[in-house]
């Protein structure tokens, strides 16, 4: 509703804008209704086919399998006997790896199934040196230039009950975070049947409940090795808990404002120019909103401009710490009786994170939204780089420059803009295959971004310019 109102308000101003690119200069009325349509991508029939293959039954079976390990506490036993008896986190880890390997077999070995394993020394919630293993599958991009671009989906496969140090008691972790693990698995199964120019990583991490240990290790490894991860989708508690006040039509998407990895210089610029609503994570959140409008996934994203819920944290923040754009998906209304609780009934209230509270159709809808986002990003050109807004002279026009997206996919560049008080992009204008454009709009009054588009309309993440004197 807010968005529609904003668009109407802008339209009533009937702005006349003159758009100049390197090769051409054209005058046209800014038609925000046309622009609004062009902001969301056209639905890609291949992606729609993939979304149709996401199965609530498979997701249910995977969540029930995860629950069957009794506990998936990161500090539970990992010895051979525990694995053989199907109890504890190592048994869960072995099963997840075998699932990824099975999907890979079905696509002719298209997935590289890997482990990121390390020993965490005793800290707060880890009483003894503990092996922590992240399990992941890599669907390598088919295009040599674009395969360096990585999009990633993650969930944590560890679980806990009332006591983070309890290694034996039941900790079913159906919703938290069997659901996120199931989303990573189902996206891998379905998307591995497609080919993408960019690389997709399907990740499941451990150690989340002990202190984000697994994701911190993975994100640091990615940073140290120079991986170009442009988007991280973290799914944690996406079960649509069946409480009476649940809204099964929406999923929350949390994103950081001021980037955790911002330098002092970045913060000075953000403070001076009003950039606090334009982190990479927030561009990713807006991209997900566009995908939610383009595809009928069964659930609509609602953007929460906040890192996470009060008193809570999650794996996306470990990626934010390393400078990656990362968001968190979480059901609309959580039932705290069903999280981090020993399974029991007290005063007629059922406690514990049991599979019977999870709405598997809802998880499938969230998986579709994730898969559509991953596929759209992995099919799109990489974002343009070195995006600058020229500020050398005092003038009322705005000139942007950028370095082309790598590889041959980009056939067009679009400049997006919105009012400084608007939550989402309001206008998009195509400029062709150029690397510079001038708009008759004052940079003082709007926020700009540039994105790359391929011949089928797949869009990169938008990049907000930095000022260049």
The residue among 143 and 158 lying less far from Zn ion, judged by its C-beta, is 158
Sign, CA dihedral 275-276-277-280, equals positive
Stretch of 19-27, 71-79, 236-244, 387-395 contacting Zn ion, by CB under 5 A: 236-244
Residue 289 — φ and ψ, nearest 5°?
Answer: -60, -40
The verdict on whether omega for the bond into residue 265 sits within 30 degrees of 0, i.e. cis, is no
The nearest distance, CB 224 to Zn ion, in angstroms, is: 25
Tell the residue number behind the tokens 């330098």, with chain if given: 263
The nearest distance, CB 195 to Zn ion, in angstroms, is: 32
The nearest distance, CB 154 to Zn ion, in angstroms, is: 11
Report the side by side order of strands in the sheet with 412-419. 427-430, 412-419, 446-453
Element holding 52 (H helix, E strand) = helix 45-52
- Asked if 331 touches Zn ion (CB under 5 A), the answer is no
What's the length of the chain? 469
The string of DSSP codes covering 104-150 is HHHTTS-EEEEEEEEEEPPBTTB-S-EEEEEEEEEE--SSTTGGGEE
Stretch of 142-150, 235-243, 446-454, 458-466 contacting Zn ion, by CB under 5 A: 235-243
Stretch of 31-39, 49-57, 94-102, 232-240 contacting Zn ion, by CB under 5 A: 232-240
3-state secondary structure labels for all residues of 271-331: HHHCCCCCCHHHHHHHHHHHHHHHCCCCCEEEEECCCCCCCCCCHHHHHHHCCCCEEEEEE
Binding-site member from 236, 359, 414, 454 for Zn ion (CB under 5 A): 236
User: How many residues of this chain bind Zn ion (CB under 5 A)?
Assistant: 3
Stretch of 79-87, 129-137, 228-236, 347-355 contacting Zn ion, by CB under 5 A: 228-236
Stretch of 111-119, 175-183, 327-335, 417-425 contacting Zn ion, by CB under 5 A: 175-183
The nearest distance, CB 411 to Zn ion, in angstroms, is: 41
Binding-site member from 44, 99, 158, 177 for Zn ion (CB under 5 A): 177
- Asked if 158 touches Zn ion (CB under 5 A), the answer is no
The nearest distance, CB 159 to Zn ion, in angstroms, is: 8
Binding-site member from 44, 120, 143, 176 for Zn ion (CB under 5 A): 176
Site residues (vs Zn ion, CB under 5 A): 176-177, 236
């Amino acid at each position: 509703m807010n968005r529609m109102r904003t668009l109407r308000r802008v339209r009533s101003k009937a702005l006349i804008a003159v758009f100049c690119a390197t090769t051409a200069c054209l005058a046209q009325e800014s038609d925000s209704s046309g622009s609004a349509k062009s902001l969301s991508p056209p639905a890609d029939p291949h992606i729609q086919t993939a979304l149709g293959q996401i199965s609530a039954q498979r997701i249910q079976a995977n969540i029930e399998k995860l629950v069957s390990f009794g506990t998936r506490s990161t500090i539970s036993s990992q010895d051979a006997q525990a694995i053989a008896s199907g109890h504890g986190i190592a048994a869960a880890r072995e099963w997840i790896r075998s699932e990824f390997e099975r999907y890979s077999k079905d696509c002719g070995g298209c997935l590289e199934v890997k482990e990121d394993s390390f020993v965490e020394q005793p800290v707060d919630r880890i009483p003894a040196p503990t092996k922590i293993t992240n399990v992941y599958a890599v669907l390598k991009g088919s295009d040599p230039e674009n395969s360096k671009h990585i999009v990633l989906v993650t969930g944590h496969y560890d679980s806990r009950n009332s006591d983070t140090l309890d290694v034996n008691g039941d900790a079913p972790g159906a919703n938290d975070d069997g659901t996120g693990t199931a989303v990573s698995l189902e996206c891998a199964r379905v998307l591995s049947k497609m080919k993408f120019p960019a690389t997709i990583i399907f990740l499941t991490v451990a150690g989340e409940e002990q202190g984000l240990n697994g994701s911190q290790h993975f994100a640091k490894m990615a940073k140290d090795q120079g991986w170009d991860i442009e988007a991280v989708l973290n799914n944690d508690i996406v079960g649509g808990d069946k409480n009476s006040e649940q809204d099964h039509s929406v999923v929350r998407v949390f994103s950081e404002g001021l980037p955790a990895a911002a330098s002092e210089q970045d913060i000075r610029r953000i403070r001076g120019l009003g950039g606090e609503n334009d982190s990479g994570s927030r561009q990713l959140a807006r991209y997900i909103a566009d995908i939610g409008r383009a595809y009928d996934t069964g659930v609509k994203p609602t953007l929460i401009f906040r890192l996470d819920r009060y008193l809570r944290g999650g794996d996306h923040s470990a990626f934010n710490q390393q400078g990656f754009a990362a968001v968190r998906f979480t059901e609309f209304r959580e039932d705290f009786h069903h999280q981090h609780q020993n399974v029991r009934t007290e005063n007629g209230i059922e406690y514990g994170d049991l599979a019977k509270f999870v709405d598997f159709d809802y998880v499938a809808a969230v998986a579709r939204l994730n898969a559509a986002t991953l596929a759209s990003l992995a099919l799109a050109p990489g974002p343009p780089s070195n995006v600058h807004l020229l500020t050398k002279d005092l003038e009322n026009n705005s000139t942007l420059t950028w370095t082309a997206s790598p590889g041959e996919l980009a056939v067009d560049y679009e400049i997006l803009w919105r009012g400084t008080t608007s939550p989402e992009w309001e206008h998009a204008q195509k400029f062709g295959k150029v690397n510079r454009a001038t708009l008759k709009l004052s940079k003082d009054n709007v926020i700009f971004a540039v994105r790359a588009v391929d011949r089928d309309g797949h869009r990169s993440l938008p990049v907000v310019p930095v000022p260049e004197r």
